[in-house]
Chains A and B, each alone.
Chain A
Amino acid sequence: MGKRSTFLVSVLCFGFAFFYVPIFVMMFYSFNRSRLATVWGGFSTQWYGKLFENDQIIDAALLSLRIAVVSATMAVILGTMAGLILARMGRFKGRTLFSGMISAPLIMPDVITGLSLLLLFVTLQQWTGWPAGRGATTITIAHITFSMAYVAVIVQSRLLSMDESLEEAAMDLGSTPLRVMFDVTLPIIAPAMVSGWLLAFTLSLDDLVIASFTAGPGATTLPMLIFSKVKLGVTPDINALATLIVLVVAIGVAGAGYIMYRTEKRRERDVQMAVAGNE
């Protein structure tokens, strides 16, 4: 066993170094005084200061945040419905097509999704006049469409891991289905909805390709702005921006994960105590 463990430990160390070294190097160079991105010229936080003076970056960040909040919220509503349908609604006509349309967006190459949605928006505008031009609205619709699939999968697996007999027991005891929905089902899938929202939010904030296709000339999201700068090479101000984004996301995800973990533990303890109390 010993030899194999050493092998596994070294692969794990290599894998995690591979994951994290580039990010830490990028963070390190964001404090570089030198304008040359990879030549160390002493410690400085000047690039962070410059970020907040750059209106273009602030505007793009605000637009991206707005799109991310709206699309994540809509994706949670539609995705939860879809997860509920797949896990609890039994069979219906066209179920295979529906589950296909839920899982395909997870792997569809972005260029195909982006191009096809843009052509849809153009065609719709020709036929119905809506959407009038492309911009934040069309990007938001595109983001809802692919992130609802992620939410649906998360909610569905949560529902499938939970015994339906809990809901049936509550109904047998005379609770109305609406009450069961709010008292039993929703509290149980709430953690899945929270992680679904967070995932949809970060996916939206991160998307470059689909946004580039569906954005009009007026709308520039943060990834689009970063991409146009990054194509020209590595610069210290993008290092600073990247460091900020990575830190905010990492802290947010770790914090939310910790809160959800604690809530879940407490819920499990409550259930155990309730069961013990009845015996």
Chain B
Amino acid sequence: MASDTTQAPAADDASTQEQAHGFGDWFNRIGWRKLIITIPYFWLLLFFLTPFAIVLVISFSEAAIAIPPFRIGTSWSEIMEMASYNFGLLADDSLYWWGYLNSVKIAAISTVFCLLLGYPMAYGIARANGAWRNILLLLVILPFWTSFLLRIYAWMGMLSNNGLINDILTGIGITSEPIQMMNTDFAVYIGIVYSYLPFMILPLFANLERLDLTLNEAAMDLGSRPWRTFIDVTLPLSLPGIVAGSLLVFIPATGEYVIPALLGRSDSPMIGKVLADEFFLNRDWPVASAVAVVLLVLLVVPIMAFNHYNAKEQEG
């Protein structure tokens, strides 16, 4: 099978598997183990890993009027010249470097708000009893299943100048003129917190649910006040949940496109929108690729941290 010609790793001999037993062992005996490992492995190598290599190559090329619209240099000096043009543009033009800074800032602040709202919610759900807990959990998961795009759209109706919020504010006389909320950073924060809140609540809930309550009781029995018990016992123990939830919000929010495109301002776009515009409007594939490469470099540490956390979590 393909496993010999590709780098798809299948155990070549028994010595490389330290603890295969049960199915692993049996599949290995009949030769299926290689096959079962190879198919998804090959798929991910081809459709997940290889594309990044291609993005990297194209970020070292120049835009051209051709199909596809780029040209790869024929000599080293030409390639380096093209690369320095693309990446130099990102450093020189404030549209790009400000886009990165702005995106990291917006994603970080949104993550903090998700945590501030999500932590007490997850805590409340984890402390709720039986039936209530299931219902509340279902209520958190349900929006996560319904269309992301349509939920952002729903906020366009809420935030517009003649939308519900402004109607209420003018109705009770807080303002006489509607407050401009659409196409502001405020709307982007609302959109990100709204869309990503379940990603914060669910890992936190999973973590808080498992916590040993006897520790809290012990601390309280020893005279600790509830608030101190929370700070000294619960909070440190829930740190893994906080980290997982924050990464799940921060990483995708940094590259967010739909929310800034529908709710944000057009004069200082987030980097995801800059990338998409570069690709769809300017049709400059090399610069779009360079934007993607730098974004990936920016996110590589949090992504590795998430992968590490995930592997640890799954392997117990």
Contact = CB atoms under 8 A, between A and B. Distances in A.
Nearest to A208: B149
A74 B269 CA distance: 36
A93 B11 contact: yes
Contacts of B307: 99-100, 103-104
B311 A90 contact: no
Interface of A: 1, 4, 7-9, 11-12, 14-16, 18-23, 25-26, 29, 37-39, 78-79, 81-82, 84-112, 115-117, 119-120, 122-123, 126, 141-142, 144-145, 148, 152-153, 156-157, 160, 164, 167-168, 171, 177, 180-181, 185, 198-199, 202, 205-206, 208-209, 212-213, 223, 226-227, 230-231, 233-234, 238-239, 242, 245-246, 249-250, 253-254, 257
Contacts of A198: 145
B149 A90 contact: no
Interface string B135-163: 01011101101111111011111101011
A180 B22 CA distance: 10
Interface string B13-44: 00011111111101100000100110111011
Contact of B120 (A8, A78, A96): A8
Nearest to B167: A38
A206 B314 contact: no
A230 B156 CA distance: 9
Given A168-B22, A246-B150, 9 more contacts: A8-B120, A12-B120, A88-B23, A92-B17, A93-B11, A116-B292, A119-B54, A227-B258, A242-B154
Contact of B143 (A8, A19, A209): A19
Dominant secondary structure of chain B at its interface with chain A: helix
Contacts of A29: 157
B55 to A, nearest CB: 5
A101 B48 contact: yes
A22 B124 contact: no
Contacts of A231: 261-262
A15 B306 contact: no
**By CB atoms of chain A within 10 A, which of B118, B295, B310 has the most?**
B310
B181 interface: no
Contacts of B148: 206
Contacts of B276: 111, 209, 212
Given A112-B295, A206-B149, A89 B23 contact: yes
